[in-house]
Structures are given as structure tokens and as C-alpha cells.
């Protein structure tokens, strides 16, 4: 299998948790789960007693290219068999009741899974069937439960959405992207000297055309113009464009002056 | 509309960003987006030129109860019209090219949206059509772009999954759930004194039955047993169960001794 960007093989990098779908009903959902997993860098799928049997062609159609995850999925008779070789198991559970167990957020779970996998232990994540969710015996086999903080007035994730949130948090738990950056490799943020240079050019032209002729107000007006441009994090390229705009507008004005005067 | 837990009406709480689906193709996806929005506490939906027109019954079937979001959705001819009354617009964009714009992670975007909404400004989130994504003119109307950190070898979210991640991060940006807690309201974590009390009981019975008869090794064995129980964060209720187990096992052993001796 190759990634959507073409060429690069999609392969597990290091140790990652196993996603275990317990008694899933619809093959569509199994396929959509595989797609969600691939997005978040989860590659190991196990199915416990899928209702309509396995394999099913429909799953591959919904996987949007995450075929290798489905190809390698194993089928198990029950949760005990599916977790037998694992060291640590978390069970997702939107509404835990009467279970005395540590309860993790999705983010907390991702951090713990990351730590467990870094110790070369094998971890698994249980997801229950579409309607009923995991039963009490399934949950008893887990080290901890996972409940996503979401709108308590409307908690209704489908199976693939539930896997998506966990896969996303798994990926994020090792991600170092800055929350805000300037997107470009064609230019760069302008330095303060470059911005000053443009503002000097602009101010000179505004003096020349008479826009700043009210001398008592001039310092405040110049400052207000500076405020706007300092806020916008202009790039070096954009400043060159602005230099050009100012020059052209001023030139047009001069030519117009000559024509009118001539 | 009522929440799935029954009774509670699903209503916007405070100011929240508008989700704007630009030229969405499938009504199913619009419905699934509404479902994802409701989970994350996003309630305002706008549609720009939906391919197959609007309203469409199929959307309501996929919304899993988030009907009110669809009922209130507005339709717009283009992005300019859809964002006209907003103060701040973010555009989701998995693979930005040749765009000089701040680039936010989903988490960074959620934090900024939270701050913008707290200032009583109206914010919007643009999502592009299923295959093509937003075009360059759509992106030019945004203050910043949003790219989710996800597996670069397999970046293939469907529309509702993309909305789900953003809705989840929106909810999380105001959530204070501890990443790990003990799930129960029926009992509580045992105190160290309660645990000591149990270990004293256990040790006494192990002395009585001869399990600790190797006196040089006794302190180390007692300490190892303590290590296990100290790790497990036992609850007060579980310690009572363990007291009962030890008592019953010891009692059974004594009765057996009497029978064998008798």
C-alpha cells in the first residue's frame, strides 16, 4: 500500500497500540476505523467476533486506501483471546457505570499509551460494538477506562469517529508542531528594519502628496499607520509588493499632476 | 431536540464558532458533520453552494439526532457572503501550497477561537469540498490556515472526521477533566492506614499458616507483597473484599485442619 501523497509505503513506525474492535456490527465501520487509524499512525487491528464475519469486501471500500491495516487484521473469539499477549489494555467507554477503575481522558490515555509503548510493552485499546458499547466483563479486563471529554448533552460518536479521536490524540502525543507558525517556504517574516524601511518610504510619499500636511496631527497619524503594519506580521515579499504599490501610486499621481499642469 | 441522555435540550452555550462547509457534495457528509459538531459543542452551520441543493432528507438521517443544527443551517452563494458578518475566519487545509498565512494546528486553532469568542467576536471555520478542498480564493479570505498534525504518509480524513477533530479540540480547549482519575462514586481510594491494616491482617494469617516460616526471608517477602498492593491504588471497598477473602481462606484452612485431624 502507498500513501495518498504517492509512493511512500504506509508502515508502522516503532511500537504502537493495537486497536481492538469488540463485536463490531457493520463492515463499513470497520473500514472507516482503519482509515481513521492510518491517519493517526495506528496500524494494528484486531476484531473480536465481528457480527457479519470476516473478511468483508465493504470494509476495504470504506478504508480509503488503508488496506494493509485490514489485510493484517486478526479475528478473535473473545476479548480474553484478543488481549492475551498484551501487557496493558485500555477500554473506551462513554458512560461508565459501577466500574471502579482509573478513568482517563483521550489525551491522558494517549500519553500513557505513548509511555507504555516506549517501554516496549504491548498495549491495546478496546472499542465496543456500535450501539451497546463494551459490556462489564469486557471492561473488567482493562487496566483503565477512557472517556473523551465531549458535550455531555450530545454524546453520540460513531465507531470510526471514536477511533478517529483516539488516533488523533495518539499522533498528537508525539507531535511537536508549533501551534502557530507562518506557512511559507517562499519568503519569511520581515525584520523590523525592513518594515521600518517601508514605513519610511510610505511616510515620505504621504508627506509629498500632502496627506500628512496637518503637522500637529502628523506624529499620531504616522504612529497609527505603524500600529496596523506592525500587527500584521508582514513578510519580506509582501513589503516589496507594498513598496511597489506606493511607488506606482505616487508615480501615477505625479504623472496626473504633469498632465493637469501641461 | 433533546440530547441522547434524554430530556436535556441541545443548545448553544455562549459564543461558539460557525462551521462553514464550502461546496459540500454529499448530504450524508453534511449530516455526519452536524453529528460531529454536536459532540464538540459547535452549533452554527452554514453551507456554501451545496452541490445537490438544500435541504436534503439524507442529511437528517445521518445526523443521529443533531437535527437542530441542520434545521438552523443557512445556505450561501459563496464564501464572501458566508463570512460577511464574521470577524475572524480560519480555513482548514490539509496541504497548503503557495499561501503566505499563519498556519495553526487544530489545538492551536481551538485555543485562538476560544480567545476570539471570549472577546464576543464572531469566528468561522471553513471546510472545503470532499475531494478538492478549499481553493486559493477561499483561503485568501481567511485570517489563518489550520492543518492537523496527522500521519503525513496517510492524510485522508473524510469531511465529518475533519469536523470531528476540530469540534473535539474546541470542546477540549475549555475542558478541565483531569487526564487520570479514579472512576467511582460508590467508594474511594483507600488511605495508607487502611492499606496497612489489611497488610497487617494478611501478614498475620500468612504467619499463622506457615507461608512466612523462613524467618531470614520474611522481611523481604512482606515487603514484596506490600509493593504490589501499594501500586494498585486499592479502594476502600476492595480492601474490605480482600479482608473477607483472607479471613475466609484462613477459616477454610482451619476447618480443613480440624477435619483432617478429627
* Contact between chains at A100 and B35 (C-beta distance less than 8 A): no
Q: Do B102 and A145 touch (CB under 8 A)?
A: no
Q: How far is A209 from chain B (nearest CA, A)?
A: 31
Question: What was the pLDDT predicted at B4?
Answer: 37
* Whole-prediction pTM: 0.87
* Closest C-alpha among A93, A117, A126 to residue A41: A117
Q: Do A41 and B183 touch (CB under 8 A)?
A: no
In whole angstroms, what is the distance from residue B214 CA to residue B217 CA?
6
d(C-alpha B30, C-alpha B26), whole Å: 7
Instruction: Report, in this order, helix, strand and coil percent for chain B, each rounded to 5.
Output: 45, 15, 40
Residues of A in contact with B65 (CB under 8 A): 154, 156
Q: Measured on CA atoms in the order A132, A137, A138, A143, is the torsion positive or negative?
A: positive
Residues of A in Cβ contact (< 8 Å) with B107: 172, 179
pLDDT along chain B (262 residues), means of 10: 37 80 97 97 97 96 93 97 96 82 95 95 96 90 94 91 97 95 79 95 94 95 92 89 93 76 56
Burial classification of residue A65, based on how many CB atoms lie within 10 Å of its CB (0-12 exposed, 13-18 middle, 19 or more buried)? middle
Banded model confidence at residue A1, pLDDT cuts 50, 70, 90 = very low
The candidate with the shortest Cα–Cα distance to B84, out of B136, B44, B141, is B141
Q: What is the pLDDT of residues B65-100, one digit of tens each?
A: 899 999 999 999 999 999 999 999 999 988 777 778
Give the tens place of pLDDT for each residue, A159-216.
999 999 999 999 999 999 999 987 666 788 899 999 999 999 999 999 999 999 999 9
Q: What ipTM was predicted for this assembly?
A: 0.86
Q: What is the pLDDT of residues A92-119, one digit of tens each?
A: 988 777 778 899 999 999 999 999 999 9
pLDDT in tens, B13-48: 579 999 999 999 999 999 999 999 999 999 999 999
Which residues of chain B neighbour A171 with C-beta distances below 8 Å?
A: 149-151
CA distance A146 to chain B (A): 9
Chain A hits for B168, CB-CB cut-off 8 Å, are 106, 148, 150, 165, 168
Amino acid at each position: 500500500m502507498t500513501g495518498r501523497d504517492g509512493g511512500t509505503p504506509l508502515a508502522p513506525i516503532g511500537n504502537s497500540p493495537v486497536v481492538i474492535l469488540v463485536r463490531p456490527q457493520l463492515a463499513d465501520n470497520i473500514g472507516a476505523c482503519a482509515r481513521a487509524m492510518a491517519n493517526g499512525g495506528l496500524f494494528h487491528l484486531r476484531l473480536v467476533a465481528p457480527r457479519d464475519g470476516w473478511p468483508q469486501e465493504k470494509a476495504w471500500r470504506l478504508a480509503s486506501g488503508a488496506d494493509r491495516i485490514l489485510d493484517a487484521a486478526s479475528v478473535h473469539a473473545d476479548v480474553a483471546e484478543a488481549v492475551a499477549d498484551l501487557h496493558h489494555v485500555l477500554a473506551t467507554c462513554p458512560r461508565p457505570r459501577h466500574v471502579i477503575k482509573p478513568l482517563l481522558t483521550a489525551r491522558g490515555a494517549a500519553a500513557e499509551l505513548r509511555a507504555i509503548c516506549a517501554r516496549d510493552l504491548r498495549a491495546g485499546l478496546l472499542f465496543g460494538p456500535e450501539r451497546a458499547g463494551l459490556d462489564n466483563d469486557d471492561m473488567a479486563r482493562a487496566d483503565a477506562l477512557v472517556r473523551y471529554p465531549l458535550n455531555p448533552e450530545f454524546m453520540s460518536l460513531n465507531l470510526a469517529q471514536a477511533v478517529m479521536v483516539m488516533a488523533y490524540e495518539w499522533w498528537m502525543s508525539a507531535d511537536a508542531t508549533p501551534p502557530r507558525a507562518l506557512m511559507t517556504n517562499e519568503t519569511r517574516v520581515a525584520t523590523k528594519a525592513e518594515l521600518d524601511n517601508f514605513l519610511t518610504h510610505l511616510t515620505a510619499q504621504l508627506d509629498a502628496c500632502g496627506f500628512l500636511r496637518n503637522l500637529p496631527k502628523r506624529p499620531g497619524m504616522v504612529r497609527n499607520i505603524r500600529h496596523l503594519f506592525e500587527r500584521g506580521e508582514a513578510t519580506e515579499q509582501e513589503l516589496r509588493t507594498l513598496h511597489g504599490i506606493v511607488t506606482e501610486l505616487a508615480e501615477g499621481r505625479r504623472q496626473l499632476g504633469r498632465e493637469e499642469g501641461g
